[in-house]
Amino acid sequence: MKNYELMTIFKPNLDAEEVDKIIDKINSTITEFGGKVVSVDKTGRKKLAYEIQSFRDGFFATTILELPADKVAEFKRQLRLNDNILRTMFMEVSAKASV
């Protein structure tokens, strides 16, 4: 399994409980795919650099996770299906080089 970082921007018209429910659903999807959630950091509501779907701000959350490489495409597809997510950024976390 590889390590990944997922940054998610949720719609600002959601309240904190709804955002928590969506994050829990994302985490359960990760475990269903045989992965593991390492940490979740809810940054909170921030102003966006430009409008996304007529919204000027959004609720940010960053998740560090482990996921089998063959499940990544399906996981990204599941994220795109959620209407409450404005944007996602899914990156592979590489090991730090030792000097």
* 13 occurs within a structural domain: yes
- pTM reported for the whole predicted model: 0.87
* 98 occurs within a structural domain: no
Quote the domain boundaries for residue 14.
Answer: 2-92
Q: Are 4 and 65 in contact (CB under 8 A)?
A: yes
pLDDT of residue 6: 94
Where the chain has pLDDT below 70, the residues are: 97-99
Q: Taking the CA atoms of 49, 51, 57 and 61 in sequence, report the sign of the dihedral they define.
A: negative
pLDDT of residue 99: 66
Count how many domains the chain has.
Answer: 1
Measured in whole angstroms, the distance separating CA 53 from the mean position of its chain's CA atoms is 18
pLDDT of residue 24: 95
Tell me the CATH number at 19: 3.30.70.60
* 71 occurs within a structural domain: yes
Q: Bridge-partner residues for 81, per DSSP?
A: none
pLDDT of residue 85: 94
pLDDT of residue 79: 92
Strands 55-67 and 2-10: antiparallel
Q: In what order do the strands lie in the sheet with 36-52?
A: 36-52, 55-67, 2-10, 85-92
* 99 occurs within a structural domain: no
pLDDT in tens, 65-82: 999 989 999 999 999 999
